[in-house]
Amino acid sequence: MSNLFVKVFPSYGSSFSLLRLYSSKPKPYIYRKPAKFYTPHDVFRQKLGLTKWLNQTKELQEYSDYSFQDGRPTPVTPGQLKKIQRQQALAAAAVLHLKEIKFILDRETHNKQSASTERQQIIEGKLKPKGDKLLKKNA
């Protein structure tokens, strides 16, 4: 018993002590496979082609579970409100990104035009007629 030691714990409510044996060697971890008949709830629903959870279905998320007889619209549920806000944020981000892309494309065409006009002005400045050619051109 060289690899075992005894630890004494006082017991509560009685005068006896509780002796526990602890081994200095760690016990091996035993992996137990789950039973074959057990499948988690989400896997079962996924096999049936359903959503992972019941409250993620379209009917429970988008439609109200009641209606008014006089035709008034039902109030927006918190889930619907979150969905609307998420869609509005996505739409705003898409519009912003499209504006950025349009600005980049317009800037590129503007830069090309300004570079070509600048090049043309430099070429025209270098190739001016001089001397006899200038006199013949004006006459």
pLDDT attached to residue 47? 84
User: Taking a C-beta distance cutoff of 8 angstroms, is the pair 131, 137 a contact?
Assistant: no
Rounded CA-CA distance 34/46 in Å is: 19
How many H-runs (helices) and E-runs (strands) does the chain carry? 4, 2
Asked if residues 20 and 7 have their Cβ atoms less than 8 Å apart, the reply is yes
**For position 16, what pLDDT does the model report?**
43
The residues near 53 (Cβ < 8 Å, ≥ 6 apart) are 42, 45
pLDDT along the chain (139 residues), means of 10: 48 46 57 60 79 72 74 85 95 97 94 94 79 73
Query: Can you tell me the distance from the alpha carbon of 75 to that of 68, in angstroms, rounded to the nearest whole number?
Result: 10
Separation between Cα atoms, residue 113 and residue 101, nearest integer Å: 19
Q: What is the pLDDT of residue 24?
A: 55
